[in-house]
């Protein structure tokens, strides 16, 4: 194990232990629930092999009933469900069973799915906020996919008013099993896809109830279980140097998808407690405390953590020159308009806010360099990326001279590369697009499978593939200018997305190269400090890093 890997794992374990302690303080202890959880963990002590998406989808498409575990406060958990459902479209007819809806509300679910009820009317009729107090936005894409593809949805949750602890959990499983079993019997040949809480999908919980009910009717059924982000397996992978694995085969009919790190998973619950959004900010012990100060302290911690990992020394007063703003900071726009040094960036700011993107602004005021971070939400990736941008901006200093369009474009690419690269050290499971994933995306667009795809995204995808083709063909700047000159000159959204995605993809590969000792930390330090204010320097750096990391294999998006 390299020293860097060991350092990263220790940081992850420290954050995880801290978050688990906070959760225990929040929830208290209930013996029955602890026993129910222990029964679940029994199946997650070991795994048979590292697997992949293709194998998982193949097994899933051959099943009769799928049980997909969900960690309700983690957006990545719901995205995993969405991605697998998309992969199964066209392979099987599907009936989706969701814990988020109660069986007693099925008539309202049916009316909503048929278009008879609006979204707001539906949520009001089922008393969504009370019965399922998790973010509707995390589920809306799944619901839309089902409506667009005529996939029926069944609610499987219930209100167990008198039962508590393990009795409540087991009675809930028994109720859900009846609905799932009826769905299986009434829809011969269709795939019954169940999304339920992590603990419920343990083989000895809900799946066993379903199997027992169908066995009474002499109905054979092939069950398949998809766990997500089992902490026990993640730490085992770390000990084996295999923590980059995305899919594990636990047994013939049980797999585990790994799409976030344990500390981030638990943190999403802590932030749900404080009505945040899948974030990295600590739970508030005092609801009347200064929210901005606590959030700012967490960004400061990210900056100092990254500086420590990269062995970069910040000026002692650097963090004092940084202000951090959020959407609920009502005087943010007034401050921008009242700062003459920022007026030239207002168009960029408005566009970023509209697209719910984070950003860093650098400006000079009264002879001092100042920095402003805006976080559109409290997502860990965004906070980590902008923290790394700040670290980079302080070390390289302000740009003193104008740059050519080519130099400006590739300076942005390097900036985005470092931002993504740094964010991976705080969330290794963050994924970037790959050349193959972009080819698959454009293939689906061409076949008419993604009719709602954003035209800007499609154009950027084409530019990226053309750029990679040019990289294989030549390293002459004149050839790149001939091909991409208009994009280099443009300050449009498409041009910015183009440079950002090139940077993300390079940063993703760079992370794995550094982690595996294939790219020196000394060179990383040089890139962080380089202002890239000389002609052709950023372009040359991009080509150099691209060439050095091109053979690095990394995890693809599930």
Token digits of residue 288? 């009347």
**Contact (CB, 8 A) for 283 and 360:** no
Query: Does an H or E element contain 153, and which?
Result: strand 153-157
Token digits of residue 310? 């990269």
Hey, where are the domains in the chain? 30-259, 291-398, 407-549
Q: How far separated are the first and last CA of the chain, in Å rounded?
A: 27
The dihedral sign for the CA sequence 110, 113, 118, 121: positive
Q: Which of 110, 134, 181 is nearest to 194 (CA)?
A: 181
Segments in the chain below pLDDT 50: 162, 275-290, 557
Phi, psi of 136, deg, nearest 5:
-60, -35
Q: Look at the chain and count its residues.
A: 558
Collapsed DSSP state (helix, strand, coil) of residue 157: strand
- Residues 501, 353: Cα–Cα separation, whole Å: 18
- Residues 42, 202: Cα–Cα separation, whole Å: 9
- Residues 330, 315: Cα–Cα separation, whole Å: 30
Q: Which of 286, 284, 500, 525 is nearest to 391 (CA)?
A: 525
pLDDT at 165: 65
Query: Does an H or E element contain 424, and which?
Result: helix 405-424
pTM given for the model: 0.77
Q: Which of 2, 84, 23 is nearest to 231 (CA)?
A: 23
Fold of 30-259: Rossmann fold (3.40.50)
pLDDT in tens, 399-458: 989 999 999 999 999 999 999 999 999 888 888 999 999 999 999 999 988 877 899 999
Query: Does an H or E element contain 360, and which?
Result: strand 359-365
């Amino acid at each position: 194990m390299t020293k860097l890997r060991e350092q990263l794992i220790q940081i992850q374990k420290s954050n995880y232990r801290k978050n688990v302690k906070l959760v225990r303080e929040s929830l208290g202890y209930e013996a029955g629930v602890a026993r129910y959880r222990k029964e679940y963990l029994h199946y997650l002590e070991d795994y048979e092999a590292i697997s992949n998406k293709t194998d998982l989808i193949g097994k899933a498409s051959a099943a009769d009933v799928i049980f997909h575990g969900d960690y309700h406060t983690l957006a990545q958990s719901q995205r995993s469900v969405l991605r697998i459902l998309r992969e199964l479209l066209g392979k099987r007819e599907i009936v989706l069973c969701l814990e988020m809806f109660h069986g007693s509300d099925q008539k309202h679910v049916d009316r909503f799915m048929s278009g008879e009820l609006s979204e707001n009317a539906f949520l009001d009729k089922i008393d969504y906020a009370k019965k399922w107090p998790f973010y509707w936005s995390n589920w809306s894409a799944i619901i839309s996919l089902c409506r667009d593809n005529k996939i029926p949805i069944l609610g499987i949750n219930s209100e167990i008013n008198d039962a508590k602890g393990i009795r409540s959990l087991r009675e809930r499983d028994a109720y859900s099993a009846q609905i799932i079993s009826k769905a299986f019997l009434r829809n011969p040949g269709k795939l019954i896809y169940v999304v339920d809480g992590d603990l419920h999908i343990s083989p000895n919980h809900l799946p066993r109830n379903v199997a027992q009910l169908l066995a009474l009717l002499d109905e054979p059924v092939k069950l398949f279980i998809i766990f997500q982000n089992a902490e026990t397996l993640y730490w085992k992978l770390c000990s084996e140097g295999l923590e980059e694995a995305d899919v594990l085969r636990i047994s013939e009919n049980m797999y585990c998808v790994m799409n976030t790190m344990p500390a981030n998973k638990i943190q999403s619950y802590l932030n749900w407690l404080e009505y945040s959004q899948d974030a990295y900010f600590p739970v508030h012990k005092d609801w009347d405390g200064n929210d901005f100060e606590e959030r700012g302290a967490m960004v400061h911690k990210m900056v100092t953590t990254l500086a420590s990992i990269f062995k970069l020394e910040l000026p002692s007063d650097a963090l004092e020159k940084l202000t951090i703003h959020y959407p609920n900071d009502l005087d943010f726009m007034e401050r921008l308009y009242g700062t003459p040094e920022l007026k030239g960036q207002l168009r960029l700011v408005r566009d970023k806010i509209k697209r719910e993107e984070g950003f860093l602004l650098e400006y000079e005021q009264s002879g001092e360099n100042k920095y402003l971070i805006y976080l559109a939400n409290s997502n860990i990736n965004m906070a980590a990326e902008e923290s790394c941008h700040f670290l980079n901006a302080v070390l390289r200093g302000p740009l003193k001279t104008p740059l050519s369009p080519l130099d400006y474009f590739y300076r942005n690419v390097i900036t985005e590369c470092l931002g993504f690269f740094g964010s991976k050290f705080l969330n290794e499971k963050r994924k970037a697009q790959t050349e193959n994933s972009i080819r698959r995306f454009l293939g689906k667009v061409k076949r008419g499978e993604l009719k709602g795809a954003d035209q800007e995204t499609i154009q950027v995808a084409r530019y990226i593939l053309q750029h990679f083709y040019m990289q294989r063909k030549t390293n002459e700047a004149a050839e790149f200018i001939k091909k991409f000159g208009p994009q280099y000159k443009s300050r449009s959204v498409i041009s910015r997305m183009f440079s950002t995605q090139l940077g993300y993809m390079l940063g993703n590969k760079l992370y794995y190269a550094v982690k595996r000792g294939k790219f020196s930390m000394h060179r990383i330090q040089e890139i962080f400090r380089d202002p890239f204010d000389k002609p052709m320097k950023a372009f040359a750096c991009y080509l150099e890093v691209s060439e050095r990391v091109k053979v690095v294999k990394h995890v693809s998006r599930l």
